[in-house]
Amino acid sequence: MKLNTVIGTIAAGLLFSGVAMGQAKIVIKGSDTLGAKMVPQLTAVYKAMGNATDFEIAAEGSSTAFTSLLEGTADIGMSSRDAKEGEKDSFTAKGKELVEHVAGIDMIAVVVNEGNSVKDLTTKQIEGIFTGEITDWSELGGKKGAISVYTRNTSSGTYKSFQELAMNKRDYGSSTQKMAGNEAIASEVGKNINGIGYVGLAYAKNDGLLPVTVEGKGLDSPAEYPLSRKLYYYTVGQPEGEIGKFLTWAKTDETAQKVIEKVGFVSAK
């Protein structure tokens, strides 16, 4: 079945307009990067292709993937970072095995307002902006104006991934403004001529934004772009039944890979 046909069917509401009596339900919790767009679209297409499965999705940050799995309140965890050793140890201590599945590849886009004249930054400049060492656009060749820095909140995997990829694991500057999700950062930067932030690839083309090139490399060069990372699903033990069926489809099926790329990520396959 063609992707456009599937999506059109969903939009028209012709299939699975309600939860069938007794059908399977999969609870997925964690990363906003995966859970705001990619996973909801994957699950919608999966259902429209004839799979009688209901999904509950909560996108509240990567850290919640691991707490929810450990508590048994989620079947699948979504994370935009790999599990920390302490998180893995928590599962081991309870006799549980935390299993990692690559969901796709993301590039963290550094975005400025489309009216900003600064269009390329080095990794050193990005580090300086987000640690608070560089505070005015004139220091970067732009028009004079105090830089407004927007970041994800501390429960976000993207918050931590960006620290590692772009900031040499240094602390964020004290004046950075923490946002709940990608959409919030995109909105604020899109409204603020002096704004800068980072978002997942799927949000880089939102209205009012300009993704800057990093070391001269843009988002159209996945293999060379400096700020790329893997995205993950996590399960307790090897997934079986409906959970295993869905994850196998999401990781390998051609239609699923087209959804992933349509949303704006890179297929791991």
Co-location of 46 and 179 in the same domain: no
Q: DSSP string covering 11-56, please?
A: HHT-S--SPPTT-EEEEEEE-HHIIIIIHHHHHHHHHHTT--EEEE
79, 62 Cβ separation under 8 angstroms: yes
Co-location of 19 and 51 in the same domain: yes
Cα separation of 242 and 52, whole Å?
A: 10
Pairwise pLDDT comparison (235 vs 9), residue with the higher score:
235
Co-location of 115 and 62 in the same domain: no
Local confidence band at 264 (pLDDT 50, 70, 90 cut-offs):
confident
E-strand ranges in 90-183 read 98-107, 109-113, 120-121, 148-152, 177-179
Helix (H) or strand (E) holding 228: strand 228-236
**Which of 19-33, 177-191, 232-246 has the weakest average pLDDT?**
19-33
Co-location of 192 and 250 in the same domain: no
State both tokens at 251. Answer: 């990781």
Nearest to 100 by CA among 254, 257, 251: 251
Co-location of 234 and 101 in the same domain: yes
Whole-number pLDDT of residue 223: 76
Whole-number pLDDT of residue 11: 39
Cα separation of 119 and 100, whole Å?
A: 36
Whole-number pLDDT of residue 15: 34
**Which of 96-100, 139-143, 154-158, 209-213 has the weakest average pLDDT?**
154-158
Co-location of 81 and 117 in the same domain: no
Co-location of 91 and 131 in the same domain: no
Whole-number pLDDT of residue 120: 98
Co-location of 200 and 121 in the same domain: yes
Q: What is the share, in percent, of the chain residues with pLDDT greater than 70?
A: 91
Local confidence band at 167 (pLDDT 50, 70, 90 cut-offs):
very high
Give the angle subtended at the CA of 122 by the CAs of 119 and 127, to the nearest 5°: 115
Pairwise pLDDT comparison (111 vs 220), residue with the higher score:
111
Pairwise pLDDT comparison (46 vs 3), residue with the higher score:
46
Range of the structural domain that residue 96 is part of: 3-105+230-263
Pairwise pLDDT comparison (238 vs 17), residue with the higher score:
238
Whole-number pLDDT of residue 221: 85
Co-location of 195 and 234 in the same domain: no
Sheet holding 148-152, edge to edge: 177-179, 148-152, 195-199, 109-113, 209-211
Local confidence band at 268 (pLDDT 50, 70, 90 cut-offs):
confident
108-127: pLDDT as tens digits: 999 999 999 999 999 999 99
Nearest to 139 by CA among 151, 129, 149: 129
Whole-number pLDDT of residue 201: 86
State both tokens at 107. Answer: 């590039």
Whole-number pLDDT of residue 2: 54
Local confidence band at 5 (pLDDT 50, 70, 90 cut-offs):
low
Pairwise pLDDT comparison (190 vs 228), residue with the higher score:
190
12-47: pLDDT as tens digits: 443 333 333 456 899 999 999 999 999 999 999 999
What's the domain count of the chain?
2
Local confidence band at 140 (pLDDT 50, 70, 90 cut-offs):
very high
Cα separation of 89 and 70, whole Å?
A: 11
pLDDT of 169 higher than 90: yes
Cα separation of 165 and 157, whole Å?
A: 12
Whole-number pLDDT of residue 165: 93
Residue 129, in any domain of the structure? yes
Co-location of 176 and 87 in the same domain: no
Co-location of 99 and 120 in the same domain: no
Cα separation of 185 and 208, whole Å?
A: 12
* Mean pLDDT, the chain, whole residue set: 91
Residue 50, in any domain of the structure? yes
Mean pLDDT of 240-263: 96
Co-location of 85 and 141 in the same domain: no
Residue 269, in any domain of the structure? no
CATH of the domain at 100: 3.40.190.10
